[in-house]
Amino acid sequence: MLMRLFPGALACLLVAWLGGQAAAAELRLAGIFGDSVVLQRDQPLTIWGWASGDQAVSVQFAGQTVNATSDAEGGWQAVLSPLPANQQGQTLTVRSGDETVVLENVVVGDVWHASGQSNMAMTVAAVARRLEAAKQHVATADLPNIRFRRVQGDAARQPLKDVPQGSGWTVCSSQTVAGFSAAAFYFARELHSQVNVPIGIIDTSRGGTPIEPFIPAEAFQSHPTLKREWTLGQHDDLQGIWDLPGGVRARDANWLPARLFHSRLAPLAKFSVRGTIWYQGESNCGVGEDPRDYQHKMRALITGWRSAFGNEAMPFYFVQLPGSGAGPAWPYLREQQRLSLGLPHTGMVVTIDLLDKDIHPPNKVDVGRRLARWALADSYGRDIVASGPVFERAEFSGATATVHFSRCDEGLMLAGKQGLAEPKPTPDAELSHFEVADADGNWHAAKANIDGQTVNVTCGAVDRIVAVRYGYAINPQHCHLANVQGLPASPFCSDADLCAVSQGRRSLRERNVKQRELRKATRTTLSNANYSRRHVLFAERITTMASRRCCLAARLFEGCDFVFVLECLSDIVQAVQQAVAAMGFDIKAAVKAFAVADRLVF
């Protein structure tokens, strides 16, 4: 029963226990290795694992034999010299005493981390259900030199020594691709077609998760907000982190600083990779979230991973949030993402032109291709433009603002995009979504026109412009500004101080109070009915889960008033009470109660 209820938690505990008991363990490789693994080309390759203590270990691969000796606790590692790419599957053999471990079908190519939250985790199957073209992509996905490794694991207070073996490395085919991250698959497919080497993807994403749990512990010393989050996280103070300006609405331990890095990434630190792709941000700017200081969190994430993986120049390419499914704080977070640029070998994919209504838009094809474009231009040295125009600076002269952009050496144009088709010039379209600020900081809609590599912006209502912004809206439609390659310009604001967080802390506190009142009402009602404390805690937990679903409902349905939705929870409380009374405290009651709550919300 416990294994069925908490498989992830028990797996993490088992891994930690095995790490401590390695001296008595049989010969084994670290969990990241397995049949069909992709090893990183052109870099020293650390192969490691556990054996009996103080034993000789040998590793044989691709004509190399490297010897090592396990330490007193059984840990060992051997470093192979750099190898060129090889698409032909080979055998990797590890021996110690009379024990032998053999890995089959091992190839050498480029390995990329893929991480973030649900839009990175969104599978090819989920995309194919909503995007007709993706069904054909599945049917033609027999690509044996693209391989995926899914790494999961719940929160860990300290870095784990290993990850579970899980399902191991999966070779891409029309039968297996459905379970792959869609964004990562289209990224890998584009890279594979362009560079013709094996591509390995290590997917450590987790849906519904903010950036904080993915940041390494040491990186939390880089900014005051991060320092405070770390201190509160060490005391498991979820409420304190939520109340903190620039904090996050931590639901459980999986939201706390470094906890997912400890379980999913720290054990992989010695595994050589080419770089990282990242798609996250929604859970730092959703209902009840405060996106302030996200740029510093992004920089901490990037520098922290580079330090942990021993590669200070590791490429890191990320996705700026689109407009689809957006909420009031999303424009601010997009600007924070743009402001995080500047570190070497980083790049941002703009998706504001990929229109949809869902918080999980199905077009991961263009997302993957644009991520690959960054990699090809920056990491592989291809002579292509990596992205669309990015704000560089603005010059103000009375009632006119002149905006300068990078990544538009051949000029700017207006472009439109339909579905998966390539963007096309739309010279007759209006250059909209520009606004200017007056001396009092008030924003006004403005007119704009392209002048080579710049945009001139004017507004009859403003005599002296002090700031300019573009695409700074929850879900701006038809943002046509692009470079001549058709890649969209990033939304921006020339003065971050004038782009305040739209979602005020007062409203967040009001929502927090509402939810506290709801939990208190549940507790009081059940206590008065003489339910045990165990039943009361159970009902509170189910109610809280249902409340989160209401938050999601408020995000998904535009114009839906949060407080009104929350008031509907009185029906959910009653359903929970009935479930507890009728069936007692067991897992069936929990499942049924939550199912009832889910139906009531949606």
Indicate the pTM of the whole model: 0.82
Look at residue 287 in the predicted model and tell me its pLDDT: 83
Query: Which one is predicted more confidently, 579 or 424?
Result: 424
Report the percentage of the chain scoring pLDDT > 90: 76
Edge to edge, the sheet with strand 443-445 lists: 443-445, 434-437, 467-470, 492-493
Tell me how crowded residue 4 is: count the other CB atoms within 10 A of its CB.
Answer: 7
Compute the distance between CA of residue 229 and CA of residue 49 in angstroms, rounded to an integer: 34
Dihedral of the alpha carbons of 278, 288, 254, 359, in degrees to the nearest 10? -40
Per-residue pLDDT band at 521 (split at 50, 70, 90): low
Cα 59 from chain centre? 35
- The pLDDT of residue 552 is 42
Q: What confidence category does residue 511 fall into, taking pLDDT thresholds of 50, 70 and 90?
A: very low
Mean of pLDDT over the chain: 86
- pLDDT score recorded for residue 165: 86
Distance CA 490, CA 269 (A): 33
Tens digit of each residue's pLDDT (9 = 90 or more) over 316-350: 999 999 999 999 999 999 999 999 999 999 999 99
What's the pLDDT band for 518 if we cut at 50, 70, 90? low
- Residue 45's contacts (CB-CB under 8 Å, 6 or more residues apart) are 39, 79, 80, 81, 82, 83, 272
Q: How far is CA 121 from CA 9, 202, 280, 360, in A?
A: 20, 12, 10, 10
Per-residue pLDDT at 29: 98
Domain 390-498 has CATH 2.60.40: yes
**Beta-carbon neighbour count of residue 398 at 10 Å?**
10
Query: Residue 95: beta bridge partners?
Result: 58, 100
Helices vs. strands in the chain: H and E counts, helices first:
17, 25
* pLDDT digits 0-9 by tens, 119-160: 999 999 999 999 999 999 999 999 999 999 999 999 999 999
Cα 82 → chain centroid: 30
Mean pLDDT of 171-178: 98
How many other C-beta atoms are found inside a 10 Å radius of the C-beta of residue 365?
Answer: 22
pLDDT, average across residues 449-463: 97
Q: Number of C-alpha atoms within 13 angstroms, CB side, residue 47?
A: 31
Kindly report the CA angle at 330 between 325 and 332, in degrees rounded to 5? Answer: 165
* pLDDT for res 352: 97
**β-strands 316-319, 275-279: how paired?**
parallel
Q: Are 98 and 62 in contact (CB under 8 A)?
A: no
Range in 11-25, 250-264, 284-298 the model is least confident about? 11-25
Does pLDDT of 425 surpass 90?
yes
Q: How far, in Å, CA of 302 to CA of 296, rounded?
A: 10
Paired tokens of 532: 């045990």
- Which residues lie below 8 Å from residue 589, measured CB to CB, with a gap of 6+? 538, 579, 580, 582, 583
| Backbone φ and ψ of 204, nearest 5° | -115, 20
pLDDT at 528: 57
**Domain-by-domain residue ranges, the chain?**
177-378, 390-498, 505-601
Is residue 557 pLDDT above 90, yes or no?
no
> What confidence tier does 9 reach under pLDDT thresholds 50, 70, 90?
very low
Whether the per-residue pLDDT at 448 is higher than 80: the answer is: yes
**Residue 45 reports pLDDT greater than 60:** yes
Residue 74 scores a pLDDT above 80 = yes
Q: What is the DSSP string of 253-294?
A: GGGSTTHHIIIIIGGGTTS--SEEEEE--GGGSSTT---TTH
Tokens of residue 304, six digits: 């922290």
Architecture label for domain 177-378: 3-Layer(aba) Sandwich (3.40)
465 contacts: CB under 8 Å, gap ≥ 6:
396, 398, 399, 400, 401, 436, 437, 438, 457, 459
C-alpha angle 509-515-516 in degrees, rounded to nearest 5: 85
Query: Alpha-carbon distance 9 to 18, whole Å?
Result: 14
Look at residue 288 in the predicted model and tell me its pLDDT.
Answer: 79
Residues β-bridged to residue 99? 96
What span, in angstroms and rounded, lies between the C-alpha atoms of 543 and 568?
A: 11
Q: Are residues 563 and 514 in contact, defined by beta-carbon separation less than 8 angstroms? A: yes
Check pLDDT > 80 for residue 548. no
Residue 497 pLDDT: 86
Burial of 484 (0-12, 13-18, 19+ CB in 10 A): middle
pLDDT tens, 464-496? Answer: 999 999 999 999 999 999 999 999 999 999 998
What percent of the chain stands above pLDDT 70? 79
Gap between the Cα atoms of 243 and 384, Å rounded: 45
Task: Confirm if 121 and 264 have CB atoms less than 8 A apart.
Answer: no
Cα dihedral 570/576/579/582 (nearest 10) = -70
Would the CATH topology of 177-378 be identical to that of 390-498?
no
pLDDT of 499? 84
> Which residue is listed with tokens 């998966």?
420
- Quote the CA–CA distance of 443 and 499 in Å, as a whole number: 10
Phi, psi for residue 327 in degrees, rounded to 5: -125, 180
Where do we find the tokens 């693994």? 37
What's residue 21's pLDDT?
40
| pLDDT at position 362 over 60 | yes
Residue 561 has pLDDT above 90, yes or no: no
The CA distance from 173 to 184, in Å, is 15
pLDDT of residue 496: 86
Q: Sheet with 75-80: list strands edge to edge.
A: 28-29, 45-50, 75-80
**Which DSSP helix (H) or strand (E) runs through 565?**
helix 562-567
pLDDT at site 520:
60
